[in-house]
Amino acid sequence: LDTLPVNAHTTTSDALWAGLPVLTCAGETFAGRVAGSLLTAIGLPELVAHSLEEYEALALQLAQNPEQLKALREKLAKNRLTTPLFDIKRYVENLESAYETMWGIWQAGEPPRAFRVEKKKS
Give the domain range for residue 56.
Answer: 10-82
Return the half-sphere exposure (C-beta side, CA atoms, 13 A cut-off) of residue 60. Answer: 6
Would residue 5 count as lying in a domain?
no
CATH number of the CATH domain containing 28: 3.40.50.2000
| The pLDDT value given to residue 121 | 64
pLDDT confidence of residue 102:
97
Structural domain includes residue 55:
yes
pLDDT band, very low/low/confident/very high, at 118 (cuts 50, 70, 90): confident
pLDDT band at 81 (very low <50, low <70, confident <90, very high): confident
- 30 and 61, same structural domain? yes
Residues 17 and 74 in one domain: yes
Domain co-membership, 91 together with 69: no
Q: Are 70 and 106 in a shared domain? A: no
In a domain, 36, yes or no: yes
Q: Note the pTM of the prediction, 2 decimals.
A: 0.78
Domain count, the chain: 2
Are residues 75 and 18 located together in one domain of the fold?
yes
